[in-house]
Structure 1
Amino acid sequence: MIYEFCTNTDPGLARENNEDSVTFDGPARLGILADGMGGYNAGEIASGMATTFIKSEMGRWLSQAGKHANAKEVRRALEICVENANRSIFNAANSNPQYTGMGTTLVVGVFQDSRLMLGHIGDSRCYRLRGDEFAQITKDHSLLQEQMDAGLITPEQAATSMNKNLVTRALGVEDTVLLEINEHRVEPGDIYLMCSDGLSDMVNDPGIAQILVASMPLSQKAVQLIQTANANGGRDNISVLLAQASMGSQKRGLISRLLGN
């Protein structure tokens, strides 16, 4: 399986600074997105620490040992890496009064051939487009989600709730954090979207799906998602990471034909 990655981020229309951070390591097939919170500029410190640390540490492990690692090994490596990132952010917050209380959401994905190992903390999301089927494949760690799970409110009520941004889990806020990890099967043609709530709060699922199914380059889809969020109000920072899977067999088939195999 071959993967194409692209990212885009924008402060939106209501905020001067951007507390989101998003990055990827193409050779390692690693994507990371974080939405920071807390204090003056502290949110962008937390999110930047998270993406930089995880890209460096997880990317190094994947390049050295992870290419043929099994699911259990990748899962454990992700857990350790995120635990270390959490401790670094927590320690920075506690040693610098300016950063007190800072934290960040996290979505991190390791793509290995036909497998995605996906971890997340907080309410930043990952969606998947497979053919015409569009689905959210992460479940928010938020007060709203807990209220919906308990049957206290409906999804329609949640969409207009004042409690939208109350997360129940964040990286760097406490000395330990629980990373939720799920394994997903990848099919050729799949498009995966990681995003901060600046997108998902401004553009509904049908609107996101309409852009992803459109016939345009992946990078243009990322631009279009952000432009649509801003057109709908742009009340928060907006970040997206797109990963598209395709089969690499065509290239190998050509080589085989040239070799007479």
Structure 2
Amino acid sequence: MAYHVDLEFAAKTDAGRVRSHNEDSVAISVDCGLAILADGMGGYNAGEVASGIATSVLKETLEERLQNQQWEARNSRSKRIQQLIVESIVHTNNSIIEAARIEPQYSGMGTTLVMAFFHHDVVTIAHVGDSRAYRLRQGDLKQITRDHSLLQEQIDAGLVSQEGARFAQNRNLITRAMGIDYDVDVEIHDHVIAAGDLYLLCSDGLSDMLSIEEILAAMISAGSSLDAACDALVKKANSNGGRDNISVILIKVKSETPDTEGLLGRILNWIK
């Protein structure tokens, strides 16, 4: 059920050096080609509850719905997958709200979300909030999500420079979150993958502590071991202060199978 993509996964989550407990959560489905990361918020450990619901419910929902799909031609398939993911995120969002309704001490809890689903020759990335996705390709590390935050809006408006953003006081004020409102606004995009790509999902406990150059250096220093790269990223974030929980997921594209559902694909299948 890995949808023709040969992947390698690794993940690590750490409370950091300041917080007493970890409100981040991660989930991976190797068979499904799926990775999910959430950064919770709220008092009385409610952030931990929200992020845990986000990762567990979304993973279970997507595994079930993806397994039961009959995929169409490429263009309609891509739209259907995005629709299915958004519907699953909305269902997960409603589950968080319902949990807070049942348990009043969790009222107001919420979480960010970033997820990646690898299928055929693309990765579909969806996010809500300021948890990020990066892609390392041929030595070039690029952020491929845009933060849903007040700071990002100020950057877009030219009020804050990219350099000044690293030291801004309001960098953690997000404009979208899971579990706050039934009308959750999900951003979702497809990205063409290539063999050798390395994708990073992370909470702001990493991206607030490390510049993109430091993230790249930590990833490269670990060589080919994804577990070592996760360790290096978390260690560097902690050495830089570790002011928040730190979570990372790394996904390596070992090989990808081209889309062969057209005429050429049918011919190739006939002659196998």
Does the TM-score normalized on the shorter chain lie above 0.5?
yes
Distance change in 2, residues 1:225/1:116 (3 Å): same
What root-mean-square deviation, in Å, do the aligned CA atoms of Structure 1 and Structure 2 show?
1.5
Q: What's the CA shift for 1:96?
A: 2.1
Alignment partner, residue 34 of structure 2:
30
Q: Is the 8 A contact 2:219 2:232 kept in 1?
A: no
SS in 1 for 2:189: strand
**Matches of 1:44 and 1:138, distance apart in 2:** 23
Alignment partner, residue 220 of structure 1:
228
Q: Is the 8 A contact 2:121 2:256 kept in 1?
A: no
Runs of 4+ in 1 over 3 A off after TM superposition: 66-69
**Matches of 1:216 and 1:234, distance apart in 2:** 25
**Matches of 2:102 and 2:159, distance apart in 1:** 40
Task: Write the mapping of 1:1-261 to structure 2, written as runs, cut at 5 A.
Answer: 1-65=5-69, 70-214=77-221, 215-247=223-255
Q: What's the CA shift for 1:211?
A: 2.1
TM-score under structure 1 length normalisation: 0.92
**Matches of 2:65 and 2:99, distance apart in 1:** 24
1:167-193 superposed Cα distances (whole Å, 9 cap, x missing partner): 000001112101100110001100000
TM-score under structure 2 length normalisation: 0.88
**Percent of aligned positions that are identical:** 45
Q: What amino acid sits opposite 2:61 in the alignment?
A: E
SS in 2 for 1:14: coil
Q: What's the CA shift for 1:60?
A: 1.6
Structure 2, unaligned runs of 5 or more: 258-271
Structure 1, unaligned runs of 5 or more: 250-260
231-240 or 58-67, which deviates more: 58-67
Q: Is the 8 A contact 2:195 2:256 kept in 1?
A: no
Q: What's the CA shift for 1:113?
A: 2.8
**Matches of 1:117 and 1:132, distance apart in 2:** 22
1:115-162 superposed Cα distances (whole Å, 9 cap, x missing partner): 011100000000000011110000000000000001111112211111
**Matches of 1:142 and 1:61, distance apart in 2:** 31
Instruction: State the number of aligned residues.
Output: 250
SS in 2 for 1:33: strand
